[in-house]
Chain A
Amino acid sequence: MSENHVKSLLETPLKVVNIGLESFSEALVEQGVEVVHLDWIPPGGGDPKLADLLSKLE
């Protein structure tokens, strides 16, 4: 990313898409940041064995 892009990112209002832990989005909302929260958890709830089975059963 060029220096100009970094500069423009910091100078414009943040628009955030938060994926996963909702508390992260809540903290930003409290600071007045515009947030779209995406309710998501890893496949199988993060259980590696279930995730492995799911990948084989596709």
Chain B
Amino acid sequence: MQRIDDANRQAMDRILSADPVLVDVIPAAEAIPTLQDRMILHAGPPVDWERMCGPMRGAVAGIAVFEGWAADLQEAEAMAGAGAFDFQPNHHFDAVGPMTGMTTAGQWVMVVENRRFGNRAYCTINEGLGKVMRFGGNDAEVLDRLRWLRDSFGPAMGRALRSGDGVPLKSLVARGLSMGDEMHQRNVACTGLMLRALAPALAATADDTAGLSKALAFIGGNDQFFLNIAMTMGKAIMDPVRGIDGSSLVTAMSRNGTDFGIRVSGTGDTWFTAPVEMPEGLYFPGFTEADANPDMGDSTIVETIGLGGFAMGAAPAVAGFVGAGSASDAANFTRAMGEITYGDNPEWSIPGLDYLGVPTGIDIRLVVETGLAPTINTGIAHREPGIGQVGAGVVRAPMACFEAALQAFAASVGVA
């Protein structure tokens, strides 16, 4: 259908012509003026307290204590159950968040500006691995780290970024792909490249040597530091693709631990949801699949722009980490995703696949036609609140989301 072809070409042009730049770190309340007191932004499509999974509830309780809304976790849970908090998806506020995805007014968020279209996207700073709030952790250690990010690291990173013209992300990601990152479960190269880009400005704008040293060690010691930047970049790239009449390309995939939701350009901001699936993966010592929570987080925005599971061929090491098999299996994941995408991104190529561009622009028609659901690389949270990450794996987006979206999309273009 010519109308769909034209719309998808326009959508793909917007994806490929994006110019995302990491420009600042600022308080969430400043970045998102509509983020009110006692409002909690979470990952995924809308979900209320009654339907939230264990780690999401744990994170809600923790962030309520962090914000000073509750004296302790028990009081926070009681308040949540009594309707004291306004739960909203990050995606409705130009934001994204990994795993539980807690975003509240008192946290600091990274700002990525898409200079081609002028829009901005936001995400909190990656806390590190293990027992962290994004995986449902909420004890004193977790909250103290959030306070340090708010009081020290966030302001320092903001000063450093404002002292220059920001860090262009497209070229940095291109280098990261050639160094074995896929930007979802492997971010070690891009984290190193970002540290290299930020360190001089962090030093030049630092308050004190001890604080600088801690900030540098925090970035250098967290292989996933770049994940949240990649996600913010993904949101900044995809937001201008929303609402193109007649386009069948996916603009967001996201999960809240209960439901998986997708948005399609031609059907605007409607979520098409289905129950989340359970990742298949490898578990840290002492944990098994019985401990795992189902799929969760806004991080699937990286797959939406052709990275993560779609770029698995760039990152053979991650295939082993997530239990997806061999290097050739990793390449097959990328090639398979080429069956459900509009085209390749020539600026993000994979040397080991003869410089094949990452498969980009998920077309719901191709997903339903082939039966190939998007492949997602993901961390796995413990199903109980307060414990944290227990493993990493691969999961598929539920086909029911795409089938529902296809029917609504067909109606939107006058086909029934």
Q: Do A and B bind each other?
A: yes
Taking beta carbons and an 8 Å cutoff, which residues of A are in contact with B?
41, 43-45, 47, 50, 53-54, 56-58
**Residues of chain A within 8 A of B248, CB atoms compared:** 57
**Residues of chain A within 8 A of B410, CB atoms compared:** 53, 56-57
**Residues of chain B within 8 A of A53, CB atoms compared:** 406-407, 410, 415
Contact between B4 and A45, CB atoms less than 8 A apart: no
A54 to B364 CA separation, bound complex (whole angstroms) = 10
Q: What is the minimal beta-carbon distance from A39 to any residue of chain B, in angstroms?
A: 9
| Given A45-B368, A56-B410, A57-B4, 12 other A-B residues pairs in contact with their CB atoms under 8 A | A43-B368, A43-B370, A50-B406, A50-B407, A53-B406, A53-B407, A53-B410, A53-B415, A54-B368, A54-B369, A56-B415, A58-B365
Contact between A43 and B407, CB atoms less than 8 A apart: no
Instruction: Kindly supply a per-residue 1/0 record for chain B positions 391-409, scoring 1 wherever the CB is within 8 Å of any chain A CB and 0 otherwise.
Output: 0000000010001001101
A44 to B371 CA separation, bound complex (whole angstroms) = 7
A49: nearest residue on chain B (CB-CB)? B407
Q: Which of B1, B365, B368, B399 has the most CB of A within 10 A?
A: B368
Q: Which of B1, B371, B407 is within 8 Å of A45, CB to CB?
A: B371
A43: nearest residue on chain B (CB-CB)? B369
A sample of 16 cross-chain residue pairs with beta-carbon separation below 8 angstroms, ordered by A number, consists of: A41-B371, A44-B368, A45-B371, A45-B399, A50-B403, A50-B407, A53-B406, A54-B365, A54-B368, A56-B1, A56-B415, A57-B1, A57-B248, A57-B409, A57-B410, A58-B1
A58 to B5 CA separation, bound complex (whole angstroms) = 9
A47 to B368 CA separation, bound complex (whole angstroms) = 10
Q: What is the minimal beta-carbon distance from A27 to any residue of chain B, in angstroms?
A: 22
Chain A: interface secondary structure?
helix
Q: Which of A44, A47, A56, A57 has the most CB of B within 10 A?
A: A57
Taking beta carbons and an 8 Å cutoff, which residues of B are in contact with A?
1, 4, 248, 365, 368-371, 399, 403, 406-407, 409-410, 413, 415
Q: What is the minimal beta-carbon distance from A24 to any residue of chain B, in angstroms?
A: 18
Q: What is the minimal beta-carbon distance from B205 to any residue of chain A, in angstroms?
A: 53
Q: What is the minimal beta-carbon distance from A8 to any residue of chain B, in angstroms?
A: 36
**Residues of chain A within 8 A of B399, CB atoms compared:** 45
B364: nearest residue on chain A (CB-CB)? A57
**Residues of chain A within 8 A of B413, CB atoms compared:** 57
A48 to B298 CA separation, bound complex (whole angstroms) = 33
Q: What is the minimal beta-carbon distance from A2 to any residue of chain B, in angstroms?
A: 38
Q: What is the minimal beta-carbon distance from A52 to any residue of chain B, in angstroms?
A: 9
Contact between B415 and A57, CB atoms less than 8 A apart: yes
Contact between B368 and A50, CB atoms less than 8 A apart: yes
B1: nearest residue on chain A (CB-CB)? A57
A32 to B10 CA separation, bound complex (whole angstroms) = 51
A56 to B409 CA separation, bound complex (whole angstroms) = 12
Q: What is the minimal beta-carbon distance from A38 to any residue of chain B, in angstroms?
A: 12
Q: What is the minimal beta-carbon distance from B51 to any residue of chain A, in angstroms?
A: 27
**Residues of chain B within 8 A of A41, CB atoms compared:** 370-371
Q: Which 4 A-B pairs have the closest CB atoms?
A: A41-B371, A43-B369, A56-B415, A53-B410
**Residues of chain B within 8 A of A54, CB atoms compared:** 365, 368-369, 406
A56 to B415 CA separation, bound complex (whole angstroms) = 7
Q: What is the minimal beta-carbon distance from A21 to any residue of chain B, in angstroms?
A: 13
**Residues of chain B within 8 A of A45, CB atoms compared:** 368, 371, 399, 403
**Residues of chain B within 8 A of A56, CB atoms compared:** 1, 410, 415
